[in-house]
Amino acid sequence: MKSKLMQMLEERKDEMIEIRRYLHEHPELSFEEENTSRYIEEFYKGKDVKVDRKVGGGNGLIVTITGGKPGKTIGLRADFDALPIFEETDVPFKSKNPGVMHACAHDGHTAYLMILADCLIQLKDEIPGTIKIIHQPAEEVPPGGAIGMIESGLLDDLDNIFGIHLLPMGPSGVVGYNSGYVFPGRAYFKLKVQGVGGHGSSPHLANDAIVAGAHFVTAVQTVISRRLNPFDMGVVTIGSFDGKGTFNVIKDSVEIEGDVRAMTDETRTLIETEIRRISRGIEEEFNVTCEMTYTPDYPPLYNNPDLTEMVAEILKNANDKDITEVQEFPKLSPSEDFAHYAKKFPACFFYICCTPKGVEKPYFNHHPKFDIDEDALLVAAKAVGQVVCGYYGI
């Protein structure tokens, strides 16, 4: 079956590119992807599969391919939301929705998986198990679309789940993998510091929220430098300090917003505990009140070591002209809501390189000039197809 599948994918490379370009021209933001969802649903009409739409109350779809023989059930996931970015690329299929752009390659993820799914549908009698194609919305905005897909219950029977991400970390043909905790978890916090306003000439009659907030900004950096094990990864970023006022008026309140990244759940919990402790200390030290909103969103992404080793061996032994190199990648710093699946099912999330040809320093995902080498779409389809065939021994 593997040789048939690879040949079918090669013959449909142009169709993958066509789908990707259509999606790129018509991007939609997270939780607003109704037209994209309908487009994907229309693709599967008339095919011998079960399609569940509006999964989890959102725009997601799950396409169930029931094989000709009983066996394990796996999931293949691709996301399809875009970002609130004004596109600056010079391509003929530029976004027709100003201020919205597929700057994270989700258009490519969806395009490869639609064609791979269609080929698997045609070969399903040879599959000893069930494959669930997970077209997921809203990866970019917490709480993310993965939670709704999981809570639908339609994935409860999964034995394993696989996903990929297109990244410009090498030329098309290079596939990357890593094991264990590979992406950090993420959290958001907002702190409102309430003091007492007054005139700059009479600071003793006021209680300066800016001074208290500034101490908080400085103090939270010690969480990383003085509370974390030096071998653990953690980041606290203050991205917003809203204290604008008049030069000679003491502000009565400020709002501070921040971002937390941590590679393990234990580290993420420790950072939250320490940030809350510092907030309480600021109240006592400056006689202000602090209202803290702390929202953990995406957990750290954990690649099951045994499953990842299997994926790496399958790809290294693929002997495929389009998969030219398989590398172990370092841990990466973005967050991904695929991590929610990986908390529930043994999972492997790996990487398809897509640096445009002739480009030495590519723009990375989320940049307004981000683009991909579209040859990577076939690499993605083949790599995941190879994993499916190797998993089932077909």
How many angstroms from the chain centroid is the CA of residue 343?
14
139 classed as catalytic = yes
**Active-site residue, from 81, 140, 336, 373:** 81
159 classed as catalytic = no
**Active-site residue, from 28, 33, 118, 139:** 139
How far is 104 from 106, CA to CA, in rounded Å?
6
Q: Which residues are catalytic?
A: 81, 139
